[in-house]
A and B are shown apart, each in its own frame.
Chain A
């Protein structure tokens, strides 16, 4: 249903859909008490983090067409700020959480602003460089970040005097974040704001000529994506209790991008599912460390060749193909124009 804000402005559920939705909600609410295996519960929580990351990157890359390969950096900013404030400065979690999301959003805005003229490969590279600079900074600025030793002993958030350190507690915490990011993504998709982002993705010059300040919207798309990634990072730090620069490498960013592709660029539920799918399959293959990554690389190539529109496809992609097909025949079109 993506790219079609016209036909479903209604965010509120339909009468007939109320029951299944209520059942699914109930199932998700009791899930952490049904999964007694701590290992699987951890993977479920981990996929929650990746859903937030993937759906937020989808706003930047899927909706707006800005090819960012540095999303893990924002995740890292959130995690590090929370870790350093709660461990070193002994802040309590919640103000650190807010500051993490805000700082990450601010850095996102700054990155979006300076890279405003870049598109495609150039933007991709610029975001990689940016993320690497931050990672190397975390690695080398030892007096602040402890460098490669990382930050251990990150305390769990407390709410009304109760420490939320159980796996179940984190399930609900990340669950709230997941609901928030998916709701926001839906609102954006169905709002004039989202329409402006799609327009800018499809044709920047025309969008500008129609009165859309494309600079502002690019920055906004970056900021929104970064904010949610920072927010996820802020929860990630106390969940892991230990973070180091390795947690936020270039491969993480690529992984998040892959979740987008698997789920279908722009397709919110598809992307969320892609996040779950990749998290689970990679976790289950973890014992085969290097093999797993080699297979992952090969599968990525195969996916790009045989099913670049993702497992569930998306309308944006179809439109692209259709359009190319109709004018140039056989679906082989101009290589350079299409988004992103």
Chain B
């Protein structure tokens, strides 16, 4: 079953074409890798998928509904969550609160419940907190829950972003270079974490540079170069594909 579909999507910044008529789909339950040389337009594509940018052409369909012009918050509420390549945590909040913000789509703001301190409100908060602790355990940050997010080491910050995204109970989770800046040990841990997440029934798409990382996680990859899709298939297929090889060799020159 197709969960998510990009149809001929393009994005132009002035004269610069960052993404040029890209189409692909993501099936429910799969882990899709999106790769490509630096500056190929991967992050722009992610921003289009999550609504941070509006496409200049084409359409994006998520869970059977077009989300092309929607606001990111509306798309998030439909069950899409993401992490950022350059970490974007709420630095002055605690680890716990960062994750609880992720629960926003589950709960809303509940201002009046809080104002009158209702029983129902307290119960919901308690449930949310329990859920947050569970999510923090998945990324092994449960012992850091009262630390400020801004004070965490780099790798922990990346994991916290994943936890925050998980907290919104997404059907589709987009990870933008989740392993960037991590050492080998941390990467192995991250792969384990992502496998756990996948096993719980989530659909994932991730942008990554590290081919080994991609190979060990993804059944299918999409390769982007100069804003265009140049390959869509298995990782093994990509290794043998002439255009993919050229794109990478060309970029390394």
Q: Do chains A and B touch in the complex (CB under 8 A)?
A: yes
User: A11: which B residues are within 8 A, CB to CB?
Assistant: 117
Of B89, B90, B146, the contact of A7 (CB 8 Å cutoff)? B146
- Among the stretches B14-22, B108-116, B206-214, the one at the interface with A is B108-116
Cα separation A208 to B47 with both chains bound (whole Å): 12
Contact B150 A319 (CB under 8 A): yes
Scan residues 77-117 of chain B and give those whose CB is less than 8 A from a CB of chain A: 77, 81-82, 84, 88-94, 96-97, 100-105, 107-111, 113-115, 117
Cα separation A58 to B102 with both chains bound (whole Å): 24
Scan residues 163-195 of chain A and give those whose CB is less than 8 A from a CB of chain B: 184, 187-188, 190-193, 195
B50 at the interface (CB under 8 A from A): yes
Contact B72 A209 (CB under 8 A): yes
Contact A322 B148 (CB under 8 A): yes
B168 at the interface (CB under 8 A from A): yes
Cα separation A9 to B115 with both chains bound (whole Å): 11
User: B150: which A residues are within 8 A, CB to CB?
Assistant: 319-320, 322-323
A210, chain B: closest CB distance, angstroms: 6
User: A184: which B residues are within 8 A, CB to CB?
Assistant: 115
B164 at the interface (CB under 8 A from A): yes
Cα separation A6 to B117 with both chains bound (whole Å): 15
A3 at the interface (CB under 8 A from B): yes
Scan residues 71-124 of chain A and give those whose CB is less than 8 A from a CB of chain B: none
**Chain A residue with Cβ nearest B104:** A211
Cα separation A184 to B114 with both chains bound (whole Å): 10
B137 at the interface (CB under 8 A from A): no
A308 at the interface (CB under 8 A from B): no
Chain A CB within 10 A, most for which of B82, B145, B151 = B151
Of A202, A203, A210, A316, the contact of B102 (CB 8 Å cutoff)? A210
Chain A 127-144: CB-based contact to B (< 8 A → 1; otherwise 0): 000000000000000000
A281 at the interface (CB under 8 A from B): no
A277 at the interface (CB under 8 A from B): no
B161, chain A: closest CB distance, angstroms: 8
User: B74: which A residues are within 8 A, CB to CB?
Assistant: 213
Contact A191 B92 (CB under 8 A): no
User: A19: which B residues are within 8 A, CB to CB?
Assistant: none
Contact B114 A198 (CB under 8 A): no
Number of residues from B at the complex interface, CB < 8 A: 47
A301 at the interface (CB under 8 A from B): no
Contact B96 A6 (CB under 8 A): yes
Scan residues 287-340 of chain A and give those whose CB is less than 8 A from a CB of chain B: 315-320, 322-323, 326, 339
**Chain B residue with Cβ nearest A224:** B111
Cα separation A5 to B165 with both chains bound (whole Å): 20
Given A192-B104, A210-B168, A322-B151; A6-B89 close (CB under 8 Å): no
B243 at the interface (CB under 8 A from A): no
**Chain A residue with Cβ nearest B78:** A211
Contact A208 B52 (CB under 8 A): yes
B71 at the interface (CB under 8 A from A): yes
User: B113: which A residues are within 8 A, CB to CB?
Assistant: 191
User: B129: which A residues are within 8 A, CB to CB?
Assistant: 6
Cα separation A198 to B168 with both chains bound (whole Å): 18
Contact B104 A214 (CB under 8 A): no
User: A339: which B residues are within 8 A, CB to CB?
Assistant: 92
Contact A208 B146 (CB under 8 A): no
Contact B146 A192 (CB under 8 A): no
Cα separation A277 to B149 with both chains bound (whole Å): 33
A207 at the interface (CB under 8 A from B): yes
Question: Would you list the 10 A-B pairs with minimal beta carbon distance, nearest first?
Answer: A191-B114, A323-B150, A211-B76, A211-B105, A193-B109, A319-B92, A206-B88, A202-B90, A316-B92, A213-B73
15 pairs of residues in contact across A and B, judged by CB atoms under 8 Å: A5-B97, A6-B94, A6-B145, A9-B122, A191-B110, A191-B114, A193-B114, A198-B97, A203-B91, A206-B90, A210-B76, A212-B104, A213-B73, A319-B92, A323-B151
Residues in chain B within 8 A of chain A (CB atoms): 50, 52, 71-74, 76-77, 81-82, 84, 88-94, 96-97, 100-105, 107-111, 113-115, 117, 122, 125, 129, 145-146, 148-151, 164-165, 168
